[in-house]
Structure 1
């Protein structure tokens, strides 16, 4: 799941539990929709920085981010402490908690990828709709 700084889901991909998270960095960033944040110019198609835990400390991921012009804020295995990472990681964990509040996703009653993708997209849409300001 790709979220913004406030925990709003930007993009989500569903894969098997046996796939490593670092394998999904490229597909999730490549399929990210354009975001228009007001003002002039083209809509943004890439984030400025990407925060990730030690699971994303991979030369392939770092090369990809550098090629796309995205600043990598990834803790290094064996060097960096995970303590400072919690300042940004809780945003993603909270959003995953919102997503897993929908019990059909948490318990995975459905086995087909099409159904799970549809349920995830519906849940993300509901999360975004609930976060909209009510005037």
Structure 2
């Protein structure tokens, strides 16, 4: 099975989350293309990085514009965020999520067409760029992300990342939302943000600037770097082609959800 093809098991998870559409009895117009086929077209673009207008018609996934509109519609309906939350619930039910610590990091991507949440990148000679900020559990499962301009300081996203973690169910009792500890590199070294993190009930474990390397945090922080690499294995996320912020966020949410789905598949 090709990576963009939707298996029966994955479709059984996604289909109940999609908004239902009733065809008009009067002036019904052209029949709506099958949701599963359109989803495969969206995943084809995510995996290959191909432009929407170049989506091959012979694949049967509909036109690129049809897939683009459906992606935006489902993003507005909260489908992708809900999918990520459902998969996190399943991972917790399988005792795979580890909230003993969380790890944060970011990665810069070029934004060739500009748009909201872009800025002159200090690591790319001032060219427009965006940053993907990611927080994972202790094993590297993506919990949440934020999107900012390429000139935004990493430390400013430390609290927003913690607050973006959804309530994760899957077990009896209250949903889990906060890790016990959050790990970060020297880019997150600021006493003000340490206090804000402690106010959320989380203990910050962040490397200090000016200290020698070899603090030992790298042995635990590598999981977030691996998760970012997995996220950017989807070619559409290596460069930000979307001017619209919501479309790029949709691709980020789908990427996080697919990483979770793969982790669930490894348990079967």
Q: What TM-score, normalized by structure 2, do the two folds share?
A: 0.47
Which ranges of 4 or more aligned residues in structure 1 deviate by more than 3 Å?
A: none
Match of 1:47 among 179, 182, 188: 179
Is the Cα contact below 8 Å between 2:189 and 2:209 reproduced in 1?
Answer: yes
Match of 2:213 among 81, 90, 94: 81
1:6 equivalent in alignment to 2:152: no
- Greater shift in the superposed pair: 82-91 or 116-125: 82-91
Whole-Å Cα distance in 2 between the matches of residues 124 and 70 of structure 1? 23
Q: CA deviation digits over 1:44-76, x for unaligned, max 9?
A: 221100010011111121001111121111011
What's the counterpart of residue 26 of structure 1? 159
Corresponding residue of 2:264:
132
Q: Which has the higher strand share?
A: 2
Equivalent residue number for residue 17 of structure 1: 150
Question: What is the aligned partner in structure 2 of residue 65 from structure 1?
Answer: 197
Contact 2:167 / 2:175 at 8 angstroms: preserved in 1?
A: yes
| RMSD (CA atoms) | 1.5
Q: Which runs of 5+ in 1 are unaligned?
A: none
1:35 aligns with 2:153: no
Question: Match for residue 223 of structure 2?
Answer: 91
Is the contact between residue 2 and residue 9 of structure 1 (CA under 8 Å) also seen in structure 2? yes
* Cα shift readout 1:71-121 (whole Å, capped 9, x = no counterpart): 111011123535522101210100000000011110222222111101100
Structure number with bigger Rg: 2
Q: Alignment partner for residue 102 of structure 1, among 218, 224, 234? A: 234
Higher relative contact order (CA 8 A, sep 6+): 1
Residues 36 and 44, structure 1, Cα contact 8 Å, conserved in 2: yes
Runs of at least 5 residues in structure 2 that lack an aligned partner in the other structure: 1-133
| Whole-Å separation in 2 of the counterparts to 1:60 and 1:41 | 33
